[in-house]
Amino acid sequence: MSNYWKTFSTAFFVLLLQQVLLGQKTAYIAQLLDQAALEVFEPLDAGYRAFQPMENEYLNCQYAVHSNREALQIRYYVQPWNEADKITTTPHVATFRVLTSVASNADEAIISAIQPDQAALLRDFNADWGMVYFFQPKSAFAQAPSCKMLALSKEGQGTVFVFFLFEDAGNLAIDRRELAVRFR
């Protein structure tokens, strides 16, 4: 067999394997979203593309998209409700655990927190509980210098963490993309 055909065969096999693995990943994400009765509104404009973030020791998000045009990366981490697991049924504890895992531990690092009002949580996300945090992420979690983390929970359904990773604090896309998820 010529080198051309060996290279072609290898490339074809690798692409086929990627498609199979992507299909399995997509099915897994769909199952998580279904378990938590959660809808994700992936941006259809601004050239957003799905990607798999590098594995890290802090938190491996199940799904992520990024846009070079908007200079924004959005990562999703879903915890379906499980009565046998107290972390999934206490969203404030799960959120604190996630926040302390991914936020920088540097002495000069600051974490800001905002609690949205109940009416806004229900109207915008159909959520019972939620918090918004701004912080510098650990470099092993993300290379972006800034993060806005949206934590939302609905009793009996689950908790979702949405990470908006960016460089420019004046990036208007951060707020425009906030309505990225909603509980059914």
Domains of the chain: 36-183 (3.40.1000)
Which residue bears the tokens 């799904």? 63
- Rounded to whole angstroms, the Cα distance separating 51 from 64 reads 6
- Helix, coil or strand: residue 46: coil
- Give tens-digit pLDDT for 62-73: 999 999 999 999
In this prediction the pTM is 0.83
Q: What is the pLDDT of residue 1?
A: 56
- Give tens-digit pLDDT for 128-182: 999 999 999 999 999 999 999 999 999 999 999 999 999 998 888 888 898 889 9
Question: How many alpha carbons fall within 13 Å on the CB side of residue 117?
Answer: 2
- Give tens-digit pLDDT for 11-23: 444 333 344 434 4
Contacts of 86 (CB under 8 A, 6+ apart): 93
Q: What is the pLDDT of residue 175?
A: 86
- Rounded to whole angstroms, the Cα distance separating 173 from 95 reads 24
User: Residue-wise over 142-178: b if at least 16 C-beta within 10 A, else e?
Assistant: bebebbbbbbbbbeebbbbbbbbbbeeeebebbeebb
Q: Hey, which residues does 131 pair with through a beta bridge?
A: 151
Q: Is the pLDDT of residue 8 over 70?
A: no
Task: Supply 145's token pair.
Answer: 């210098």
- Rounded to whole angstroms, the Cα distance separating 119 from 121 reads 6
